[in-house]
Amino acid sequence: MISVADTKVSNSYENLIDFLHKTKPSLESLPQVLFVVSQDSYEFGVVSDLYKAAYKKSADPYEIVVFVAEPGDLENFQNEAGNLDMFAAQKLFIIKSGVTFFKPWLGKTKSKISPKSFSVPDTVKILIHYDHWDLPKELVSIFGDKVSHFKSSKIFPDKRKDAFLRASKEVEVKLDDEAEEEFLLKVSPSAGAYLKNLEKLKLYLGKKSFNLADLKEVLFQSSEFSSSEIVDYFFEKDYGRFSREFTKFKIGKDSLLIFLSLLKDHLDKLRIYKIILRMYDKVLSEKEQSDLLGIGAYSPARKNHTFKRLRRESSAFNDMEIKELYEFLLEMNQKIKTGSEKEETVYYFFRKMEDFFHPRNRTVRTR
């Protein structure tokens, strides 16, 4: 029996992707006690499947015991984990709802009989879903130096590209450059979200290489009205997709103000970019341009995507169109705030949008 009473430092992994990258699917390589510190049950499911698969490959008899934080489960776990079974050479304990499960061992709720240390036989492995954003040091100290863990935190912008590439390698898929930029821009920056969405692509389309159309078909399709999507279609001057997306708009549920706010934000960027391009392109560094555009904190991939987009749009929208858009925004803002987003307001909005897509319907004006 291995005692895990003398705690040092918990062996940690950066996130789920890092854990999968460094761990082989064999019993010998899997941590004896692993805390999956995540509020996302998907990440715990991935690790659970990994452990179960490793046990299936083992030649020895084994038993898997699952605890779900019901009354008496903690006491049963203590009894079973400390006693060897003559019929099962190996045991895996899977503990769900770890915050509730271990509550009697911690802090103000600690019971008088809570252990200061907990010994685990070397034939036993324990997998815990600690459904929280952090892992208490007090709990780590009870299990000692055999504890490993990873936390499901947001991935920082400067590490998202690397995390994406490692996730792609784990799932064995490849995205082209345009699809990769869109993925990094729109998918929540967490290890679980990266893996889940890449797995979804592979499962739904039955292939390993994907482009932007694949992502939009599988990941970003929605029956709900999307203000951000319709803004993209507007600046791409794609009337077909713009009008199809607008058919999802529900009066009383969706808001024109959200769309108009996003439209103004991007219009501001486009106006500033056109000034930079015209007067300061050879003077300002990329960092200085990024700061002026308010995208300095973007990841390199997203920043590159934004610059490419603005470059295309600067050719597609002339100064007069931009001026007219600002006038339209002021007009719509006044209409909505002095009235409401009623049917006639929404109809007026869409008719004005048609005019922007089809300038031949407007009075010809020159700069």
Question: Which band of pLDDT confidence, cut at 50, 70 and 90, is reported for residue 362?
Answer: very low
Mean pLDDT for the chain?
Answer: 86
The residues spanned by each domain of the chain are 12-151, 157-219, 227-357
Cα-Cα-Cα-Cα dihedral of 129, 134, 138, 144, to 10°? 60
What DSSP element (H or E) covers 149?
A: strand 147-151
What are 182's two structure tokens? 């869109």
Overall fold of domain 12-151 = Rossmann fold (3.40.50)
Contact indicator for 36, 47 with CB cutoff of 8 Å: yes
Q: Out of 32-36, 227-231, 300-304, give the one with best mean pLDDT.
A: 32-36
b vs e for 20-49, b when ≥16 Cβ sit within 10 Å of the residue's Cβ?
A: beebeeebeebbbbbbbbbebeebbebbbe
> Which letter does DSSP use for residue 94 in this model?
E
Q: Does residue 183 have a pLDDT over 80?
A: yes
- The whole-model pTM stands at 0.65
pLDDT digits 0-9 by tens, 22-39: 988 788 889 999 999 998
Residue 66 has pLDDT above 90, yes or no: yes
pLDDT digits (tens, 9 = 90+) for 75-100: 999 888 877 665 667 899 999 999 99
Top-confidence residue, 163 or 145: 163
Structural tokens at position 56: 């299936």
Cβ count near 337 (within 10 Å): 9
Pairwise CA distance, residues 137 & 113, whole Å: 19
pLDDT at 359: 65
Q: Is the dihedral of CA 25, 43, 94, 110 positive or negative?
A: positive
